[in-house]
């Protein structure tokens, strides 16, 4: 059988590499950092298949540099790094990793909801500083969660799971939908309400973002959106950074237009907007939504299975351009 040549642009869990090695000679980037663009363009032409990350831009220039490519597998569910239209035009199949990271990402959204509303990180810092003077009635007062209103922006897989996890807290759930279609699970299980974006902004105590990054969602949260939110409300983002205008967020947090923000993603990763790091009402994590053993292993295995299928000319499990197989 033909042996393929595959590039993996950064080390991923071994389970995925081992699957690929059954049918391919696999080069794994030896560096624990994003694959430099120039190097990717210089090397892409050698490979039949590439398994890459959200930090790899997969666009026309990349495809020009990879004439032999039989498929590209993204090690992420989000695929704003891929020009899918261009891939389809060139008949190159591409895939992502939905499903395997749903629970982990929803759980991290909840970790941020708790951390920001109950001031967990700020309190931890005081303990470590040695400056805590003992219990005090006015110390570290935060916001309640039980019985409050949770607004889900983007009620796909992860948004739905995040909403379902609110069951223990008896929350009212609101959600938006870009298609305008109701979410059957949320309606049946939580009597959730599908509402226009502005209504969600005005009524929610917690807003959790789960929408994909598209031209429509870029900077969806800006100064005017923050001005509609309650001053006591919190925003959490485990989706993609550019959905929030980060400079406007810093202003809103400084001015007390909203109570706090829990962020796992940033507009210009790995950088953060100036001023964000100094704000006590922001909890900031380094894009770890899917960082559990089972989730990252599941991503490696799914991305590898997808790439193997594409190399063999078969339809991958989770294709982004399924029409190529019609």
At 297, is the secondary structure helix, strand, or coil?
Answer: helix
Taking the CA atoms of residue 108, residue 114, residue 116 and residue 119 in that order, the dihedral angle to the nearest 10 degrees is -140
**Residue 77 interacting with ligand DGY (CB under 6 A):** yes
* Binding span for ligand DGY by CB under 6 A among 71-79, 118-126, 200-208, 311-319: 71-79
Closer CB to ligand DGY, 12 or 145, in the complex: 12
40 forms part of the interface with ligand DGY (CB under 6 A) = no
> Does 78 engage in binding with ligand DGY (CB under 6 A)?
yes
Tell me the number of residues near ligand DGY by CB under 6 A: 7
In the bound state with ligand DGY, the residue whose beta carbon lies nearer, of 76 and 283, is 76
Q: Does 250 bind ligand DGY (CB under 6 A)?
A: no
The per-residue DSSP string of 130-183 comes to T---S--TTSS-----TT-EEEEES-SHHHHHHHHGGGGGT-EEEEE-SS----
Is 58 one of the binding residues for ligand DGY (CB under 6 A)?
A: no
Residue selected from 26, 69, 76, 163 as contacting ligand DGY according to rule CB under 6 A: 76
**Interaction of residue 276 with ligand DGY, rule CB under 6 A:** no
Q: Give the span between the Cα atoms of 115 and 11, in whole angstroms.
A: 30
Binding of ligand DGY at residue 289 (CB under 6 A)?
Answer: yes
Q: Is 101 in the site for ligand DGY (CB under 6 A)?
A: yes
CA distance 10 to 296: 13
- Catalytic, out of 210, 240, 296, 305: 240
Q: Segment contacting ligand DGY (CB under 6 A): 9-17, 70-78, 141-149, 167-175?
A: 70-78
Cα separations in angstroms, 229 against 116, 149, 157, 262: 16, 12, 25, 15
Q: Is 240 one of the catalytic residues?
A: yes
Site for ligand DGY in 175-214 (CB under 6 A): none
287 is catalytic: yes
DSSP at 88: H
Q: Kindly state whether residue 303 participates in binding ligand DGY, applying the rule CB under 6 A.
A: no
Q: Is 210 exposed, middle or buried (0-12, 13-18, 19+ CB in 10 A)?
A: buried
Query: Active site residue: 118, 247, 287, 317, which one?
Result: 287
Length of the chain, in residues: 326
- In sign, the C-alpha dihedral spanning 249, 254, 259, 264 is positive
Q: Give 61's contacts (C-beta < 8 A, 6+ positions apart).
A: 41
By CB under 6 A, which span of 15-23, 38-46, 74-82, 190-198 interacts with ligand DGY?
74-82
Check residue 321 for interaction with ligand DGY (CB under 6 A): no
- Enzyme catalytic residues: 240, 269, 287
Residues that bind ligand DGY (CB under 6 A): 54, 76-78, 101, 289-290
């Amino acid at each position: 059988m033909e042996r393929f040549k595959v590039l993996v642009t950064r080390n991923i869990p071994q389970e995925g590499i081992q699957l690929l090695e059954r049918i391919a000679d696999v080069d794994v980037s030896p560096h624990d950092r994003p694959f430099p663009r120039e190097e990717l363009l210089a090397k892409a032409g050698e490979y039949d298949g590439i398994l890459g990350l959200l930090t790899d831009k997969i666009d026309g220039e990349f495809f020009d540099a990879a004439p032999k490519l039989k498929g590209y597998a993204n090690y992420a569910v989000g695929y704003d790094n891929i020009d899918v239209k261009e891939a389809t035009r060139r008949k190159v199949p591409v895939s992502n990793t939905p499903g395997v990271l749903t629970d982990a990402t929803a759980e991290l959204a909840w970790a941020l909801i708790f951390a920001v509303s109950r001031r967990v990180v700020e309190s931890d810092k005081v303990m470590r500083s040695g400056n805590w003077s003992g219990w005090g009635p006015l110390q570290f007062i935060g916001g309640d969660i039980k019985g409050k209103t949770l607004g889900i922006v983007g009620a796909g897989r992860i948004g739905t799971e995040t909403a379902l996890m609110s069951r223990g807290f008896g929350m009212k759930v609101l959600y938006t939908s870009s298609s305008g279609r109701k979410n059957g699970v949320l309606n049946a299980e939580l009597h959730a309400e599908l509402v226009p974006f502005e209504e969600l902004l005005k009524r929610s105590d917690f807003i959790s973002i789960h929408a994909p990054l598209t031209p429509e969602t870029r900077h969806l949260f800006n100064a005017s959106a923050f001005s509609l939110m309650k001053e006591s409300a919190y925003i959490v983002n485990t989706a993609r950074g550019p959905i929030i205008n980060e400079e406007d967020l810093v202003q809103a947090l400084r001015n007390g237009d909203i109570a706090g923000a829990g962020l796992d993603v940033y507009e210009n990763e790995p950088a953060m907007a100036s001023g964000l790091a100094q704000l006590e009402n922001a909890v900031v994590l380094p894009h770890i939504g899917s960082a559990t053993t089972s989730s990252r292993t599941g991503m490696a295995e799914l991305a590898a299975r997808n790439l193997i299928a594409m190399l063999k000319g078969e339809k991958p499990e989770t294709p982004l351009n399924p029409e190529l197989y019609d």
